[in-house]
Amino acid sequence: MKIQAYQMVGRSQPFAKTEYTVAEIKPDEALVEVAGCGVCHTDLSFWHFGVPTRHELPLVLGHEISGTVLEGPQELLGKPVVIPAVLPCGECDLCHQGRSNICRRQQMPGNDFHGGFASHVVAPARFLAPVPEGALSQHTLAELAVVADAVTTPYQVIAKSDLQAGELAIVIGVGGVGIYAVQLAAIRGAKVVAIDVAADKLAQLDGMSDVICLNSKELDIKEIKQQVKENCRELGTPAHGWKIFEMSGTRAGQELGFALLGTTGSLAIVGFTLDKLEVRLSNLMAFDAEVKGTWGCKPELYPAAIALIAEGKLQLKPYTETFPLSQINDIFQQTLEHKLLKRSVLIPDFT
C-alpha cells in the first residue's frame, strides 16, 4: 500500500511531501486511516530544538493520532481508535509492574516509526484504544487525536499524584496540555490555581468553578508565592500538601514549581526543556516534599480518560482547532512563534 505523508528531512527545514510503500501488515500490526494528528511541543523539539528522533531522518512526525482501523485484528476492523503515543511491549518487567508507559521496548509514532502527519499509519495493534460512540457525539474523530498525549499525559500524572477532592492543585502553564490538566483536576474535585504568563490562555478558563487564574507575567517568584497563598485561603484548601503540576516546559516554570513546594507538597514535571536549573534539594528534606517525573501515559488508562469525554465531563472542542495537513509548514511556524492559542490538529487532505 502507498501512504502519502509529510516528512521531516532536517532541522527546521520545511516538511516535504512524500509517498512510501508498506508491503504488508504484520499479524500484530494495524493499518489506521488517519482522521487527525495533533501538533505537540515534542514535535517542535524534534523539528527545531535539536532533540534527536530514534528513527533516522527523513521521518514522518506526529504522535497524537486518531483514525479508523482498515486492517488488523478482527475486533478492531472498521472501528474508530486513538493510537497511544506510548506503545509498550506488554511483556517486560516494567509492563508487568504497571509501568508500561516507561517500557524500555516501547514504540512511539513519529519517533520510532513513521507517524501521523500522513494519510495512514501502520502501528502495533495491541494497545489501540477504541473510541465509544458517546465520545463522538460532541467531538469529531479528528478532534479526539489530542487524547493520545495532551489529554492522557495530564490524566496519568494527576492519577499518580493521588489528587483528592478539596486539595489544592497548581497548574503552571495552561497551553495545549495544561488546559486539560486544569479540567481533570477540577473533575476530581480539587481546587485549582492556574498560572500562566499569557492572558489569552488564562481567559479560556473563564467560568470554571473552583479555578482561580493567576497571570504571573509581571510578578516575581516571591509575589507569586504570596498570591498563591491568598488563593489557597480564598479556595478554602489546606496550606500544606499542594499538588503542583509543571506543564510549561520552561526553565521559569520549573523554577516556580520548585519554589512553590512546601510542607508535604509534590511537584510533577510534565513539560520538557533542555534548560538546566539550580535548586536546593534540601528543601525536599525540610518539607518532606517530593519531585517526580512522568512520561506519556500507559495505554491501560486510555479507556477511563476517553470515558470522561463520552460522559461530557471533559471538553476538547473549545481548546482544539483543525487545519488541513497541507498547511503543516505554516502551522509549525506559527506554533513555534506562539501565534496559535488552541491545540492544532492536522487533517489529511491528500487528493
Tell me: do 129 and 189 sit in the same domain: no
CATH number at 188 reads: 3.40.50.720
Domain stops at, among 252, 272, 293: 293
C-alpha separations of 252 from 14, 215, 295, 351 in Å = 30, 14, 21, 44
Tell me: do 10 and 138 sit in the same domain: yes
Tell me: do 88 and 110 sit in the same domain: yes
Read off the pTM: 0.95
| C-alpha cell recorded at residue 205 | 478558563
pLDDT at 234: 96
Tell me: do 118 and 171 sit in the same domain: no
Tell me: do 216 and 305 sit in the same domain: no
Domain stops at, among 293, 315, 339: 293
Tell me: do 8 and 125 sit in the same domain: yes
Tell me: do 113 and 185 sit in the same domain: no
Tell me: do 302 and 285 sit in the same domain: no
Q: With contact defined as beta carbons under 8 Å apart, do 153 and 296 qualify?
A: yes
H helix or E strand, kind and range, residue 328 = helix 328-336
Q: Which of 164, 173, 187 is nearest to 241 (CA)?
A: 164
Tell me: do 176 and 311 sit in the same domain: no
**Consecutive sets of 10 residues in the chain, 351 residues long: mean pLDDT of each?**
97 96 94 98 94 96 98 97 97 96 97 98 97 94 98 97 97 96 97 97 93 96 97 96 96 97 97 92 97 95 97 95 98 96 96 80
Domain of 191 in residue numbering reads as 152-293
pLDDT at 351: 80
Contacts of 346 (CB under 8 A, 6+ apart): 36, 37, 38, 39, 62, 117, 322, 323, 324, 325, 327, 328, 331
Tell me: do 70 and 201 sit in the same domain: no
pLDDT at 207: 87
> How many domains are there within the chain?
2
Tell me: do 142 and 157 sit in the same domain: no
What number of other Cβ atoms are within 10 A of residue 76's Cβ? 18
Write out the DSSP string of 100-166. Answer: GGG-TT-B-BTTTB--SSBSEEEEESTT-EE--GGGGTTS-TTGGGGGGTTTHHHHHHHHHHT--TT
Domain stops at, among 257, 273, 293: 293
pLDDT at 133: 93
Tell me: do 319 and 195 sit in the same domain: no
CATH number at 328 reads: 3.90.180.10
For residues 88-117, one letter each, b for 16 or more C-beta atoms within 10 angstroms of the residue's C-beta and e for the rest, the string is bbbeeebbeeeebbbbeebbbbbbbbbbbb
